[in-house]
Amino acid sequence: MTFIEPIGIWNENSFTSEQILEHLNVTKDASDYLWYITRVNVSEVEISYWMEMGILPSLTIHSIRDVAQIFLNGLLIGGAHGNWVKLEQTLKLVQGCNELALLSETVGLKLGLRTLCLGWRELHEEEYLEWSIMFKEANSVLIDREWKLAEVCQKLERHLEILGVAAIEDRLQEGVPETIEILRKAGINFWMLTGDKQTTAIQIALSCNFISSEPKGQLLFLNGRTEDEVFRSLEMVLCTMKISASEPKDLAFVVDGMSLEIILKHYRNSFTELATLSRTAICCRVTPSQKAQLVELLKSCDYRTLAIGDGGNDVRMIQQANIGVGISGREGLQAARAADYSIGKFRFLRRLILVHGRYSYNRTAFLSQYSFYKSLLICFIQILFSLFSGVSGTSLFNSLSLMAYNVFYTSIPVLACVLDKDLNEKTVMQNPQILQYCQAGRLLNPSTFAGWFGRSVYHALVVFLITVHAYADEKCEMEELSLVALSGCIWLQAVVVTLEMNSLTIFQHLAVWGNFMAFYVINSIVSTIPSFGMYTIIFRLFRQPSYWITMMLTLAVGMCPILAIKYYRFTYRSSLY
């Protein structure tokens, strides 16, 4: 009995399917196509031998994919439907050429198509009434409703007569592979959570550079039907991940929804350990609730999660993640409305993270710490004055100065910092690895906060001590001493903001120096009011050389250590940040 080269898919002459390798045993690769056809030549000697021995050749199919129907010489001889198909079918071969054809449900899975097998059967009234009662009961439960409904529906999906197979192409959006590749360079790990079949999910992952097709890339399958099978598979995958942790292999594991349900219920700790070792994972045939559970599990591993989706089944996942991104499009607006951010295309995620996300981190890091700094500065000056005055309870600053300090004198430079850009957008997009310092928290951590805290203490000491010693031998009013100290704070903060900014546009110059001038304009107006305690004080200070010398000395003493530290860092310990 000999095999002839397979014919291939009908109506597609440019494609040749794989040959059956061992007699009539069909491997798992034989059902990857809509029609797999081959010819078998049987000699007269073989027919005589089978008749003498009283046996007939049989076709054995072991497949992880779904085989729908088997044809021999144009006649239907049997079929099977379901996952992990194992079918043995007796063949009545004739002398000469026999044509064997397999109709597979998984048509086009290697092309990333979404397939559907159509079948039907007639239900008796008694059977339907019995099933409807079970369906109502499953639909009314509060725990595991989705799985209960799935179990009930599966009771009808038996003994179906196959009508045909449909395959729908769901094309990738433009720029998806490039976006994933660039974000990987930025140090971002990817998990694919999909309801597609395993083969479809893998082919989509390959087409969008989610997993590598090179020899160094490897897929680890985490499958099983029982708890024992899932446990053994999980331990094997986990062991492989640990062994390969130091090797430059691009490993990824694949798990289906049924196995995942067992894992999350019984082996959550082991799966959590696997999640920390994996940079890439493909979770197929998962439900919306499982997507949310996986996001929650990753958050428990101290990961910052971003979930992106475009359909209603992604809503729970998007809401569970630290950052939810919804894609508005053909799937509707449910995901976009439930998300923190809404984008029109997947490729826009690259700009959202690398440009806007990075700028947002830089600005938030500076604004939050600077806001603490300027508030602590005036508080420490008040504390020093309280100690200097014997804890008398007297405030160095009047109520107007305290109110205007955060509202008028220091607020506008803070708002101007939202325009700060340290690097050009094009540079950031071309060098995504720059984002990794954000993930490491280089600009906002206990160490940087301690630096700003120490700066506020030091500047408070500088302002208070220089002001007190400069006016110690002069007969000055309390309001005059207060305004000198407040001026020192404003001068220092204007220089600090200017020094910490990476780019100075015309708007930022107007905000910083315009706000600096506004301080003197406001106090000049207040000093013209006779009934107010600060009457004519600012004009007297303008005429005193000691006032301007005090401001220059305050800037010099306050900023020289800061400049020296920056010079040392940029010269001898230079880094991006």
Known binding site: residues? 114, 194-196, 285, 291, 310, 313-314
- Binding-site entries for ATP: 114, 194-196, 285, 291, 313-314
- Binding-site entries for Mg(2+): 310, 314
Q: How many CB atoms lie within 10 A of CB 155?
A: 12
d(C-alpha 351, C-alpha 504), whole Å: 23
Q: How many CB atoms lie within 10 A of CB 423?
A: 16
Q: Strand locations in 302-435, DSSP E?
A: 306-309, 323-327, 341-343
Q: Which residue has the tokens 């059902």?
A: 31
Backbone angles phi, psi at 333, to 5 degrees: -115, 10
Helices 125-140 and 145-154 sit at what angle, rounded to 10 degrees?
170
Q: Return the closest-CA partner of residue 165 out of 113, 106, 122, 208.
A: 106
Say which residues have a Cβ less than 8 Å from residue 312's Cβ, sequence separation at least 6: 331, 332, 334, 335
- What does the block give as tokens for 49? 């031998």
In 108-256, which ranges are continuous DSSP H helix? 125-140, 145-154, 176-185, 198-207, 227-243
Type of residue numbered 525: I
**Cβ distance 60 to 26 under 8 Å?**
yes
d(C-alpha 358, C-alpha 28), whole Å: 46
Distance in Å from the first CA to the final CA of the chain: 72
Collapsed DSSP state (helix, strand, coil) of residue 117: strand
Q: Cα-atom radius of gyration of the chain, to the nearest Å?
A: 36
Q: Which residue has the tokens 């303008």?
A: 542
